[in-house]
């Protein structure tokens, strides 16, 4: 069972009116936006200026897999947190495990997985994750060492 203790990083959100659908729950596509935002904030937490580096080095991440597993609804005005951890670091890829919990609570509302591949932006071909980036992840999540 996935718990809050499984995640070294959380980013807070609040469900906005524009994110709910006719059933008064968060429309499914917004879950991926929450996951993407939480991953970007995770970058900041580990000291990785991904936006600057991608522009300077012409190297960046491509999302090759994105999965949302719904458990319970997110409703208007709900304060919640997305937990982020790297489940696996490969030669050129990162697999993120994500989970959504109500703010400060243990109830699991959704889980997810996002796989990113590090790429040369001139060719859009995969390339090994540079050691300087690997070191940032390992410092934040020692299990990746």
Tens place of pLDDT per residue across the chain (145 aa) = 899 999 999 999 999 999 999 999 999 999 999 999 999 999 999 999 999 999 999 999 999 999 999 999 999 999 999 999 999 999 999 999 999 999 999 999 999 999 999 999 999 999 999 999 999 999 999 999 8
CATH label, 4-144, candidates 3.40.718.10, 3.10.129.10, 2.40.30.10, 3.40.50.1110: 3.10.129.10
pLDDT at residue 145, as a whole number: 84
- The domain segmentation of the chain, as residue ranges, is 4-144
Question: How far, CA to CA in Å, does 12 sit from each of 31, 37, 48, 64, 144?
Answer: 13, 10, 19, 25, 25
The span from the CA of 76 to the CA of 19, in Å, is 8
Would you say the pTM of this structure is higher than 0.85? Answer: yes
What pLDDT does residue 134 have? 98
């Amino acid at each position: 069972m996935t718990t809050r203790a499984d995640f070294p990083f959380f980013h807070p959100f609040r469900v906005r009116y524009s994110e709910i659908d006719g059933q008064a729950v968060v429309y499914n596509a917004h879950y991926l936006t929450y996951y993407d935002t939480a991953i970007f904030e995770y970058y900041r937490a580990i000291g990785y200026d991904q936006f600057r580096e991608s522009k300077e080095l012409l190297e960046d991440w491509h999302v090759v897999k994105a999965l949302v597993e719904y458990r319970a609804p997110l409703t208007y005005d709900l304060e919640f947190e997305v937990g982020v951890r790297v489940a696996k670091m490969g030669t050129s890829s990162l697999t993120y495990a994500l989970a959504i919990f109500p703010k400060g609570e243990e109830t699991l509302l959704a889980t997810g997985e996002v796989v990113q591949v590090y790429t040369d932006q001139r060719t859009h071909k995969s390339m090994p994750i540079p050691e300087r980036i690997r070191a940032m992840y390992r410092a934040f999540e020692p299990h990746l060492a």
